[in-house]
Amino acid sequence: MAHRLSPKSGRSYLTPSEVVRRLREEFAIVDTDRDAGADHVGDMIAQFLRMRAPDEIVEAHRKAQPEAVWVTVADEPSGERALSFVAMPGEGLFIGYHSGEQERATEGLLRRSAAALGYEIELV
């Protein structure tokens, strides 16, 4: 299973830097990695090319790649209960889980992230 966090109706997407700023106000631990974010978007672009996705999709991701940032939020440094995702300009946050157990264990982090960002949670 996975969730997507997106702006509430009528609101705009936050920039990656604003996502990080707001999450830092909410969580004790917010780790960021711009290289990992750019690499993840690069992997997405490669997949889009293999799928022969429309050029507009590929170009939009190439344009967003330099600003993408991998984000991990947690309350404790152990990392067992943490959420990780890539923040990109003009996109929602896609949060995947390794297991149902991880999804249940991080439900509170998910809800707090959505509240801090003013985003809605969608099951995808």
- Mean of pLDDT values over 103-124: 97
**pLDDT tens digits, one per residue of 69-100:** 999 999 998 767 999 999 999 999 999 999 99
Helix, strand, or coil (residue 92): coil
pTM above 0.75, yes or no: yes
CA distance 58 to 31: 27
| DSSP annotation string for 3-67 | EEEEEPTT-PPPPHHHHHHHHHHH-SEEEEEHHHHHHHHHHHHHHHHHTT--HHHHHHHHHHGGG
Structure tokens at 32: 């960021």
pLDDT digits (tens, 9 = 90+) for 1-49: 899 999 999 999 999 999 999 999 999 999 999 999 999 999 999 999 9
